[in-house]
Structure 1
Amino acid sequence: MPYLPTYVYVLFCLLVYIGVKRCFAREVRPVRPILFPVLFVGLGMSSLDHLLPRAGVEAYAAALAMLMVGTAGGWFHARGWRLQFKTGREGMFVRLPGDASLLITLLLTFVAETFIHYAIATSRPWAATSTFAVLSFAVWGGLVGMPLGRAINVVTRCVRHANGASVEGGASTLESR
C-alpha cells in the first residue's frame, strides 16, 4: 500500500507482538496493567485533537460516553478472571490469565486509527464533517475504554487483596480469589 509510511508497518508488528504476548498468562506488578491503557488514552486524545481540530463538544461527549461504556465492558470482562497474587521481598505480583481480547482491541484500534488518518490525508469530503468527528471520537472511546476497564478491575482487586493481606497479618503466596 503506497499511502502508508514505513513506520505504520513497524507499529502494526509491534502491536501484534504485544497482543500475542498478552494471550499467555504472565506475572506482573499491580501497577503495570494500568500503564498501557492510560498511555492509549493520552496518545489517542492528542492524536484525535490534532487530526480533527474543529471537533465540537458533541465529539468529546461521544468520546466520554463511549469511554464509560467501554470501561464498563472491560470491567465486567475482567471480573471473570481468576487472579493469583504473590507477595515477597520484591513486592506484590499478580498473575494475569492469558486473554486474546487485548490483541483484538489493538488490531481494531489500529484499523480505526489508520482509517481515520487515511480519510483525512486523502481529503475525503465526508472526513471533514462533524459526523465523522463524532464517530471517530466515539469509536476511540469504546476501544480505549475496554482495556482501561480491565486494568482498573485488576488494580482494584490487587488493592483489595493487599488490604486484606495486611489486615490478616500474613504475606500470601499465590493465593487466588
Structure 2
Amino acid sequence: MSHIPAYVYCLFLLLLWMGISRCLPRTIRVERLAIMPVLMAILGFRGFEGLFSQPTMFDLLAAALGLCAGMAIGWHHVRTWNIGVDRERGSLSLPGDVMMLVIILATFAFEFLLHAAAETHSIWFSAPAVPSVAAAIWAGFIGMSVGRNLHLFSRYMNVPVEPVDQAG
C-alpha cells in the first residue's frame, strides 16, 4: 500500500491504548459500555463500504449471522466474571481482560489484509464470497464487543438500587 493516512496510525494507537487499558482491573461508568461497540461498528461499516461497492442480501445475511455469533461469544466470555456494581454512582468494577485487545488487533490485521489485497489486485480478493465473508468477520468482531457489553449492562441493571431510608 503506497500511502497509509496519518489518522490511521493515530486511530490504531488510540484503540491499542484502549485495548491495553482493558487488560487491567478498572472501574468505569456504565455509559462507557457503549463506546467500543459504537466505535467498532463505525469502523466496520466504513471499512466494508470502502472496499465493496454495495452489499448484497447475502452479504447482509452473513453479517447478521456473524453479529449473532460474535454476540454469543462476547456474552459467554464475561458470564463468569466477578464484577462490582454501584448503582448510586452508575459504575462497574471490572476485572482485567485481554479480549478487547485481541479484537482490536485482529480487526486491524483483517482490515489491513483486505486493503492490501485490494491494492495489489490479489486473485483471491475478487472471489465472489469475499464480501460476504468479510461482512461476517467484521460483524463478528462488532458482535463480540456488543455481546460482552450487553451482558455487563444486563448484570448492572439486575442489581437493585438501594432504597432510600424511609424510617419515620
Instruction: State the partner residue of 1:56.
Output: 56
Distance 1:73 1:36, change over 3 A: same
Deviations 1:97-122 (A, max 9, x none): 11011111110001001111222222
| C-alpha contact 1:75 1:149 (8 A) present in aligned 2 | yes
Q: Is the 8 A contact 1:56 1:130 kept in 2?
A: no
Contact 1:66 1:138 in 2 (8 A): yes
What stretches of structure 1 move > 4 A for 4+ residues in a row?
Answer: none
TM-score (norm 1): 0.83
Alpha-carbon distance in 2 for matches of 1:126, 1:103: 28
Counterpart CA distance in 2 for 1:129 and 1:121 is 15
The aligned amino acid for 1:77 is H
Deviation by residue 1:129-170 (Cα, 9 ceiling, x = unmatched): 321111111111111111111000011111111xx225xx25
Distance in 1 (CA, whole Å) between partners of 2:98 and 2:130 is 29
Contact 1:31 1:155 survives alignment (8 Å):
no
RMSD: 2.0
Residues 59, 87 of structure 1: CA spacing in aligned structure 2 closer, same or farther, 3 A cutoff?
closer
Q: CA deviation at 1:3?
A: 4.9
Please identify, of 147-156 and 40-49, the stretch whose mean Cα deviation from structure 2 is larger. Answer: 40-49
Gapped regions of structure 1 (runs ≥ 5): 172-177
Structure 2 equivalent of residue 137 of structure 1:
135
Mean CA deviation greater in 30-39 or 135-144? 30-39
1:95 paired residue number:
93
TM, length-normalised to structure 2: 0.87
| Aligned residues with identical type, % of pairs | 32
Instruction: Return 5+ residue gaps in structure 2 as ranges.
Output: none
- Letter in structure 2 aligned against 1:60: L
1:14-53 correspondence to structure 2 within 5 Å: 14-53=14-53
